[in-house]
Structure 1
Amino acid sequence: MWRDSGKVYGARKIRHALEHEGVTLSRRRVNRIMKGNGMAGSCSKAAYRPRPARPNDDPAPDILAREFNGYAPRTHLASDPAYVRVGSSWAYVCLPGDLANRQIAGHSVGVGHDADLVLAAFAALRFPLDECVLASWRPLCERCFSAV
């Protein structure tokens, strides 16, 4: 059962699955059996990775000034990549939204949280970006639009 889960299930999930099959064991007993056989559940917490500090010397102008109302359609877009749990791994989704009517204007899905994800989302738009103001997460936005 542990191998069938991709070595992800811990004692709680294995106990619950066994209970569904009609086998009654305590979680502690399942845990002892797992430890005795060298089995352990997979932890889904992200590992800390230290990165070099990059000070932000030149602040970007605040064009929107936190005012998200009163714009014409397709002139002001905002996006922010988010992560979604898919099976036993994570996927990232970027949904640029139109601030005028609060509709999703495009989308992009990927396995990495990088500039290509945001670029693909804006490339999926069905209107030109000539006069658009784009708001996104600052460090990612800098990497995206320095590549364009």
Structure 2
Amino acid sequence: MIAFVDMHREKFGVEAICRILSATECGFITSRGYRAAKNRPASARSVRDEMLAEEVQRIHQANYSVYGVRKMWHAMRHAGWNVGRDQIARLMKIAGLQGVRRGRKPVTTCSADGDDQRPDLVERRFVADRPQQLWVADITYVRMLSGFCYVAFVTDVFSRRIVGWAVAPTLHTESLPLLALEHALQSTGVSRNESGLIHHSDRGSQYVSLAYSDALLAAGVTASVGTVGDSYDNALAETVNGLYKAELIYSKRIWESVSEVELATMGWVHWWNTSRLHEALGYRTPANVGATYTHTTTTAPATV
């Protein structure tokens, strides 16, 4: 009501607006009440909201302007602000801020023909007690103006750290998932002496191929394949893929070639692996993993 009077007072005057509003069902306000409300000192809540709104905008912008209410709530608490989730939602609504929403995506997994005898050693329990105990791998596509390219990720379940990745214009096993696996093996130093490492994936033809199976066997890594056949069999890898596309590719809409998508991947992997917000979100930070678990990806480009 006060805002409505402020909007039209220069044209009609305060008394006339208040008199018409009081004669209708739109509301009741007197000119004296309006002036009292305008001269009333700001409440403690409004003062705090004004201060928090600036901090919400700063933190939201610092995180690529992609965080929604839940992540902004964790980020604010991680920054030392004792705020509630509903309060963050209200402040973001006032400031006109919102997170990036994921859209629907086509199915990119082509199941291999024939029965696969490898067991499902994970059974949808994506937990690990140490680094290099459980890896999850998956492939996602990135839509560009010139067509599609594909990105393969290998993620360590213990630290939620991307240990290997690759970008290619095709889904061929030799040019995409194998490159990501080799990157993961080199960046973590896994050898045949590494005991108990499990590599989990869906039943995509690339991951159950002979070449990929031989690479896992040569590295002394135990293969695990989801048996049910839906996205929950490899839910953690699906989450990493979805966040990558939603937060740094489709939200920016600036990638037009494979080389540019590769730069985006490099920057996003670096940000994902070094973000301090993992601690606030309940993840273990890379610092907790130890000096022997250091990723060697290229530093993020300034544009990312």
If the TM-score is normalised by the length of the shorter chain, which range does it land in? 0.5 to 0.7
Distance in 1 between the 2:168 and 2:139 partners? 10
CA contact (8 A) 2:128 2:134 kept: no
Which stretches of structure 1, 4 residues or more, deviate above 4 A after TM superposition? none
Q: Which residue of 1 aligns with 2:164?
A: 106
Unaligned runs of 5+ in 1: 1-45
Unaligned runs of 5+ in 2: 1-105, 216-304
Which structure shows the higher strand fraction? 1
Query: Relative to 1, partners in 2 of residues 1:129 and 1:75: Cα closer, same or farther, differing over 3 Å?
Result: farther
Q: Which residue of 2 aligns with 1:141?
A: 207
Distance in 2 between the 1:140 and 1:69 partners? 24
Quote the offset at 1:97 in angstroms: 0.5
Matched residue pairs, number?
97
**Offset from partner CA, 1:64-106 (integer Å, 9 cap, x none):** 1211113311221101110001222100000110111111111
**Is 1:91 paired with 2:149?**
yes
**Offset from partner CA, 1:20-74 (integer Å, 9 cap, x none):** xxxxxxxxxxxxxxxxxxxxxxxxxx9xxxx9x8232x43211112111133112
Name the larger-Rg structure: 2
**Is 1:69 paired with 2:127?**
yes
TM-score by length of 2: 0.29
Distance in 2 between the 1:122 and 1:83 partners? 17
Distance in 1 between the 2:141 and 2:117 partners? 27
Distance in 2 between the 1:136 and 1:129 partners? 20
Distance in 2 between the 1:105 and 1:70 partners? 15
TM-score by length of 1: 0.57
Which structure shows the higher helix fraction? 2
CA contact (8 A) 1:81 1:92 kept: yes
Q: Which residue of 2 aligns with 1:32?
A: none
Q: Which residue of 1 aligns with 2:177?
A: 118
SS at the partner of 1:121?
Answer: helix
Distance in 1 between the 2:141 and 2:202 partners? 14
Distance in 2 between the 1:84 and 1:129 partners? 32
Distance in 2 between the 1:71 and 1:108 partners? 27
Query: Relative to 1, partners in 2 of residues 1:91 and 1:129: Cα closer, same or farther, differing over 3 Å?
Result: farther
